[in-house]
Amino acid sequence: MDVPLSWLRQYVPVDILPIDLAHHITMAGTEVVGIRHTGEDWDRTKIVVGHVQKVDPHPNADRLSLPTVDLGEGETVTVVCGAPNIAVGQKIAFAREGALLFSPRSDKKEPLKATTIRGTLSTGMICSEIELGLSENHEGVLVLEDDAPTGVPLVDYLGDAVFELELTPNRPDCSSILGVAHEVAAVTGEFVTEPDLSYEETGESIKERITVDIVDSSLCGRYAASLVTGIDVKPSPKWLQKILVKAGQRPINNVVDVTNFVMLEYGQPLHAFDLSKIKDETIVVRPARSGEHLTTLDGTSRTLHPPMLTIADSENAIALAGVMGGIETEVRKETTDVLLEAANFDPINTRRTAASLRLKTEASYRFERGIRPDLVTRALRRATQLILEVAGGKVAKGIIDQYPCRQDPIILGITSSRIKQVIGTAFDRNEVLTVLNSLGFDQVVDESSEDSLAVRVPYWRSDIAIEEDLIEEVARIVGYDVIPTVPMSTPIPHRTVQPMIEFKEKVRDLLVGVGLQETISYPLEDALTLDSVQHKQNKMKRIKIANPLNAGVSYLRDTLRGSVLKTLKSNRRISQRESIRIFEIGRIYLSKGDEKGVVLPEEKEMLVGVLSGPQSEQSWHARTREMNFFDAKGVLETVFGALGIVAEYEELEDPSLHPGKAAEVFVGGQSVGIVGEIHPLVLNHFGLDDGSVAMFDVDLKELQTSISKSTKTYAGIIRFPESERDMALIVESLVPSSKIQKIIMRHKLVKSTSPVDVYTGEGVPKGKKSVAYRIVFQSTRSTLTAELLNRAEGDILRQLQSEVGAELRI
């Protein structure tokens, strides 16, 4: 909403600087996002209104003239002028020597110098719009209205500031100059003078001629009309055009301009119909018939459906109520009689109509925010008065005012105890009343009591319904900044902990600790990406977005793998050889819909990481190698170790993972995720080169549950020394290491064991592998002797021989 200061001043005095006013009303809730100034840089003494007394020809140049200008208080000056439009009697903008003006020649502001032009000295200048910075126009001098007072600073006459307001949806009243004037009055302590609404009715009675019928009063609570006959439709007078342009409207003709002017003035949309086009001079406010056509003012033919509300004549729809008029009944040059409409339409129906036709207008904006029906007749009378003023004609006697849903004025009470309870500070009753009065709330003495102050909500406010609304009115005008700032002193409530929240943070820290970078990506994906990394068990219905921003983000992801692979790909574009280790902790969304009804999806916290590229940057210390399955597994093992989790890994077939290089991860017998290398076809789908990309994909909920089941207890330190032995074995290639380890671990003296060498090739029979294990022995009761150790090794070897056919490698 653009609010010119000059227009605002017609209703409320403003004696403070525009920037200060902007600050005050912003603090009170109506944000001024910008101020456009005109004339703030015009020197008050050097640029003034002049009156052209006579225009003599220049003795030495046909194109130049020598106008003599009255500058008031008996001062006249004669200057050289090159403009063809200069004429005696004009009011013009005169700049004295030294005035700072925009120079089209140098493209910047320069002080005006006295110059001799073709032998005649000129010590001033009659300005065109470009020199004043008003427009690019320098075709002729700027001609002011005849009422411009001679000698006054131009800035006082023509200068202005336009406030750009960003309105909140609850304040349709501020989409009017008067509404803003009331805000201004409240913050400055001034008073609003509303327009006089009187005019002479000299025509026939409107009721004799016009019939109005509201068919559905739930969609139209009030409909009023006036009639002006014998008018002359032409361009508006300059003052009206100027003020509309400043407020951001395009002037059309005097009648339409008046309806726009009054809409901006009161916030009440109006419409003018050409009466001669209304069949039977009858207005029917009715829902559209199904499939009914109407060509709106923008020239678009629209198909309507109930319950869209129309204004119809005895036969057809002639306007879309509250949204836009029809082209058929538009006021044109040849129109002589206009029927003026001001009405109150249902906000929801207007909103739905505008939305379904994609036709948001100034009118629909105001109606859907719920303006008050009290505005209807005021705005109608104001528009009637102005049409009479600018288009002539006769006003019919009376107005039509159908008001089936009469709304009584709203009266609300406000108590000091409630103010104290909500704000924390007590307010003086008089202070409360003063603030409310300044906003236009009147006290209703009959209904007030010692505790409670009863006030009537002003006719333009549609956002005040409960006591808290009044409290806000008081607080915002008094100023939030003056309300004392107090720390909370109520007891801290008992905190219930969602264990997953802390768990996620712990996992994040651990992953960062082993060198992984966290990423976060969009949870919406395209179906193809999701399909390409489909889990083996996931075959549920995906959740689709009805209005995605684009096709690439139309499904909620049911796997995090695609997101992380995409991140890998986008970074591979930047660096082909870099070592990349990333992880994301995010949700996947699994549909739980069944036949009984739809329920919200399950949102599962997942952890996915990928490792790709060299294990380390190439350096002088060592040759590097590509990361693979075991790097990803190592990350998991480190994280699990820190969390006190013991996991088991079993071979896995997963369509998106490399056959033979994938494992399912189990904790306490429960599957918690996978680790593996990505299937080459999947890499291909993501545009990733061949080469290994290792991934882990873990269900954090399962993982977190598995920890809380096994609380770790401190075992104590054993004081007897450990002994290490290495055992090299030859076994069938297919025997998993985990199985051998399990057998070794079964011996009661074994503290731990891990493979220290795995070898196939020369010296090892085909189909077999050589595996060496380091075994750490320890007893809780004594230092182990060589004899005991030898016996233990023998026992273990026998078990390995019988269970997996292992032989000692010699």
Partner 1 sequence: MTDVTGVAAVEEIRAEVLRALEMAATEEQLEDLRVAYLGRRGKLTQILRSLGSITPEVRRETGAAANELKEVFEEKLAARRKVLADKKLAALSGQEKIDVTLPGRPYLRGGLHPTTRIIREILDTFVSMGFAIAEGPEVEWDRYNFESLNIPKDHPARDIWDTLWVDYTDDSGYRPMLLRTHTSPMQARIMETVNPPVRVVVPGKCYRYEATDATHEWHFYQIEGLAVDEGITFGNLKGTLYEFAQRMFGEERKIRFRCDYFPFVEPGVDMSIDCFQCDGDGCRICSHTGWIEIMGAGMVHPNVLSSAGYDSSVYTGFAFGMGPERIAMLKYGIDDIRNFYSNDLRFLREVGD
How far the first Cα of the chain sits from its last, in Å, is 92
For partner 1, give the closer residue by CB, 492 or 715: 492
Question: Does 286 help bind partner 1 (rule: CB under 8 A)?
Answer: no
Stretch that binds partner 1, among 96-104, 145-153, 245-253, 599-607 (CB under 8 A): 599-607
From the CB of 538, what's the least distance to partner 1, in Å? 17
From the CB of 517, what's the least distance to partner 1, in Å? 5
Q: What are the CA-CA distances from residue 701 to residues 251, 587, 665 (Å)?
A: 65, 11, 14
Q: Which of 88, 422, 426, 551 is close enough to bind partner 1 by CB under 8 A?
A: 422
For partner 1, give the closer residue by CB, 34 or 230: 34
For partner 1, give the closer residue by CB, 365 or 773: 365
For partner 1, give the closer residue by CB, 495 or 596: 495
- What part of residues 620-639 is at the interface with partner 1 (CB under 8 A)? 620-621
Q: What are the CA-CA distances from residue 543 to residues 316, 464, 700 (Å)?
A: 45, 41, 21
Structure tokens at 403: 């008001």
* CA 460 to the chain's CA centroid: 28
For partner 1, give the closer residue by CB, 146 or 617: 617
- What part of residues 442-481 is at the interface with partner 1 (CB under 8 A)? 466, 468-469, 471-472, 475-476, 480-481
From the CB of 184, what's the least distance to partner 1, in Å? 15
Q: What are the CA-CA distances from residue 431 to residues 27, 426, 427, 434, 468 (Å)?
A: 19, 11, 7, 5, 17
Is the distance from CB of 500 to CB of 605 less than 8 angstroms?
yes
Nearest to 175 by CA among 187, 160, 164: 164
From the CB of 408, what's the least distance to partner 1, in Å? 22
Q: Return left, alpha or beta for 110; rule: phi > 0 is left, psi -120 to 50 is alpha, else beta.
A: beta
Q: Which of 121, 405, 426, 512 is close enough to bind partner 1 by CB under 8 A?
A: 512
Q: State phi, psi for 286 to the nearest 5 degrees.
A: -145, 155
- What part of residues 750-809 is at the interface with partner 1 (CB under 8 A)? none
From the CB of 28, what's the least distance to partner 1, in Å? 6
Q: Alpha helix (H) ranges present in 674-756? A: 680-685, 700-709, 737-745
How many residues are listed for the chain in this entry? 810
Question: Does 669 help bind partner 1 (rule: CB under 8 A)?
Answer: no
Question: Does 497 help bind partner 1 (rule: CB under 8 A)?
Answer: yes
Is the distance from CB of 342 to CB of 259 less than 8 angstroms?
no
From the CB of 579, what's the least distance to partner 1, in Å? 9
For partner 1, give the closer residue by CB, 245 or 600: 600
From the CB of 30, what's the least distance to partner 1, in Å? 8
- What part of residues 331-350 is at the interface with partner 1 (CB under 8 A)? 347-348
Binding mask 156-195 for partner 1 (x = CB under 8 A): ------------xxxx------------------------
DSSP-derived 3-state class of residue 493: coil
Q: Which of 74, 189, 299, 491 is close enough to bind partner 1 by CB under 8 A?
A: 491
Instruction: Provide the b/e sequence for 33-44 (b: ≥16 CB within 10 Å).
Output: eebeebbeebbe
Instruction: Provide the b/e sequence for 400-414 (b: ≥16 CB within 10 Å).
Output: bebbeeeeeeeebbb
Is the distance from CB of 372 to CB of 383 less than 8 angstroms?
no
**What is the C-alpha to C-alpha distance for residues 227 and 374, in angstroms, rounded to an integer?**
20
Q: Which of 140, 523, 659, 755 is close enough to bind partner 1 by CB under 8 A?
A: 523
- What part of residues 28-47 is at the interface with partner 1 (CB under 8 A)? 28-29, 31, 33
Is the distance from CB of 81 to CB of 66 less than 8 angstroms?
yes
Question: Does 587 help bind partner 1 (rule: CB under 8 A)?
Answer: yes
Question: Does 576 help bind partner 1 (rule: CB under 8 A)?
Answer: no
Binding mask 292-331 for partner 1 (x = CB under 8 A): ----------------------------------------
Is the distance from CB of 459 to CB of 266 less than 8 angstroms?
no
DSSP-derived 3-state class of residue 129: coil
Is the distance from CB of 560 to CB of 526 less than 8 angstroms?
no
**Preceding omega of 13 cis (within 30 degrees of 0):** no
For partner 1, give the closer residue by CB, 395 or 564: 564
Give the single-character DSSP code of 482: G
For partner 1, give the closer residue by CB, 124 or 613: 613
Tell me the site size for partner 1, rule CB under 8 A. 90
Sign of CA dihedral 427, 431, 435, 436: positive
Q: Which of 537, 547, 711, 713 is close enough to bind partner 1 by CB under 8 A?
A: 547
DSSP-derived 3-state class of residue 449: coil
From the CB of 691, what's the least distance to partner 1, in Å? 18
Q: Which of 129, 603, 626, 803 is close enough to bind partner 1 by CB under 8 A?
A: 603
Q: Which of 215, 500, 551, 808 is close enough to bind partner 1 by CB under 8 A?
A: 500
Question: Does 207 help bind partner 1 (rule: CB under 8 A)?
Answer: no
- What part of residues 1-30 is at the interface with partner 1 (CB under 8 A)? 26-29
- What part of residues 554-573 is at the interface with partner 1 (CB under 8 A)? 556, 567, 570-571
Q: Which of 345, 589, 640, 777 is close enough to bind partner 1 by CB under 8 A?
A: 589
Write the DSSP assignment of 733-787 as a string of letters.
TTS-HHHHHHHHHTSTTEEEEEEEEEE-STTS-TTEEEEEEEEEE--SSSPPPHH
Q: Which of 445, 598, 717, 734 is close enough to bind partner 1 by CB under 8 A?
A: 598
Question: Does 527 help bind partner 1 (rule: CB under 8 A)?
Answer: no
From the CB of 347, what's the least distance to partner 1, in Å? 7
From the CB of 487, what's the least distance to partner 1, in Å? 4
**What is the C-alpha to C-alpha distance for residues 2 and 161, in angstroms, rounded to an integer?**
10
Question: Does 551 help bind partner 1 (rule: CB under 8 A)?
Answer: no
For partner 1, give the closer residue by CB, 23 or 536: 23
Stretch that binds partner 1, among 224-232, 442-450, 514-522, 655-663 (CB under 8 A): 514-522
Is the distance from CB of 309 to CB of 285 less than 8 angstroms?
yes
Is the distance from CB of 617 to CB of 625 less than 8 angstroms?
no
Question: Does 607 help bind partner 1 (rule: CB under 8 A)?
Answer: no
**What is the C-alpha to C-alpha distance for residues 405 and 338, in angstroms, rounded to an integer?**
26
From the CB of 803, what's the least distance to partner 1, in Å? 39
- Using only C-alpha atoms, what is the Rg of the chain? 42
Q: Which of 46, 51, 182, 351 is close enough to bind partner 1 by CB under 8 A?
A: 351
For partner 1, give the closer residue by CB, 98 or 523: 523
From the CB of 609, what's the least distance to partner 1, in Å? 10
DSSP-derived 3-state class of residue 348: helix
DSSP-derived 3-state class of residue 208: helix
